[in-house]
Amino acid sequence: MKKKILLAILALILITPVRAAQNQQKKDDDFAEIVLEDILDDEYELKLADNTPQAVSVSSNEVPQEKTLKEKLQDVYHLEVDKYDAPTYLLKDVLTHKFDENSIWDRTQLWAGYNGDIGLQFTEGSMGSEHTTNHYDINTINVGYDGFLKNNNGDFRVMINISPYSERNVIQNLFADMYIATNKIPHHRIMVGHTRPPVGMEGAYGPFVLPFLARSQISRNFGTVRKLGARISGDYSLVDYDFGVYSSDTYFQEFFPGAEFIGRVDLKPLGKTDGKYGKLLIGGSMDAGHRNNNFCVVGAHIQYDYKRFMANFEWAQANGYNGPAGYSVDTHASGFYATLGYMLTKKLQILARYDEFDPNREIAHNNQREYSVGLNYFIKGQGLRLILNYVFCQNDAAKDSHRIMLGTQILI
């Protein structure tokens, strides 16, 4: 029995080195693969883990690499814009300068915009370029320079208008927006300088967000003019307002001929519904002041947007006014318009408008009515847009006329 136990122990001693050698060979083979594929990677990851503070510290100090000009232009080519109620500047990334963290300035932006048309007008029995409707000139060329403080605390704009206009000299027509503004007060904005005040709804729009090439007749006569003054506007969920005091001068033609108050209030009944039922705006405005004589314009407006559909209505009445064509003392004028629009596709919009204006309510049979239809093709939102308008001008005191306008708009 003892001999058997000794033989078993001896056999175990002899076999163990062989198996150990085989296992060692197998481990060596596996080790070669692990070293090449796994262990080095594991060790590298461990080193990265050990050096994580240093790696984070280095990356936090690195300045993000700015896109090249070619990459920025490629972004413009592929740009898709779904919002049409605000200007879109195609070269914004190219023409914007951003400041470092130590500066009080956040960024400055250089931009330019063009809006104009090739128009054909013809009256009954003839064709020509004579304007049978008032103030139907469409040609906007603007160049602007904007600056913004950090945290949206304030901003400024200097904009020049290089569109020719025969009734004003070069200097009077050159300077457009020139203002400084602050947004420090929550929900409020204070502006001082030369701005476009809210005389009516469409009269307050900039030229690059208009549905048609031309504004409505009440806007052409009463509004869409810039004035020098100070204003404060408020923006809340259910109400907006804008009040300002200005010089009654327009286009730097006189030195403070009188004071002018311009105010507008808009109620937003659907302001707390997050757009579920659309956006509804109901408001009114007043423009009153003195320029050789007293004048006053009052108006009311309604605007509704829901998905692809838009509609607006505006009415105004004046006992004298101080508009873009100059002031008209004691002229009792009035007018209204209604506009409907629908987005047939994401880029194509169809429009229709009825527009009536009475230049003097004390004179009978002198109304001017315009029936307009239009198409807007938004290639890059308002940044690149093609426009086709047809207008039938029905005049009680003059020949009827037709206008066909093919326009374009580009913002860079």
Model confidence pLDDT, tens digit, residues 43-73:
434 333 343 333 334 444 555 677 888 788 8
DSSP strand E in 66-153: where? 96-98, 105-123, 126-128, 139-149
Q: Would you mind telling me the total number of residues written for the chain in this entry?
A: 412
pLDDT at 108 over 50: yes
Q: Which CATH number fits domain 85-411: 3.40.1160.10, 2.40.160.10, 3.40.50.970, 3.40.190.10?
A: 2.40.160.10
Whether residue 128 has pLDDT greater than 60: no
Q: Quick one: which of 381, 377, 380 has its CA closest to 407? A: 377
pLDDT of residue 388: 96
pLDDT category at 133 given cuts 50, 70, 90 is low
Residue 67, number of CB atoms within 10 A of its CB: 13
Q: Domain residues of the chain, as ranges?
A: 2-60, 85-411
- On average, the pLDDT of the chain sits at 83
Provide the pLDDT for residue 83. 81
Mean pLDDT (whole number) for 268-290: 96
User: Mean of the pLDDT values across residues 257-285?
Assistant: 96
pLDDT, position 166: 61
Place of tokens 């898709």: 80
Taking a C-beta distance cutoff of 8 angstroms, is the pair 218, 357 a contact?
yes
pLDDT at position 63 is 54
Q: What is the pLDDT of residue 85?
A: 84
| Helix (H) or strand (E) segment spanning residue 65 | none
Q: What share of the chain has pLDDT > 90, as a percent?
A: 62
| pLDDT given at position 43 | 40
- DSSP conformation letters of 236-303: -SSEEEEEEEEES--TT-SS---EEEEEEEEE-TTTTTTTTT-EEEEEEEEEEEESSSEEEEEEEEEE
Question: How much is the pLDDT for 202?
Answer: 95
Contact 178, 196 (CB under 8 A): no
Other Cβ atoms less than 10 A from the Cβ of 171: the count is 9
**Residues 146-174: pLDDT tens digits?**
999 999 899 999 999 987 666 777 788 88
Question: pLDDT at position 175, please?
Answer: 87
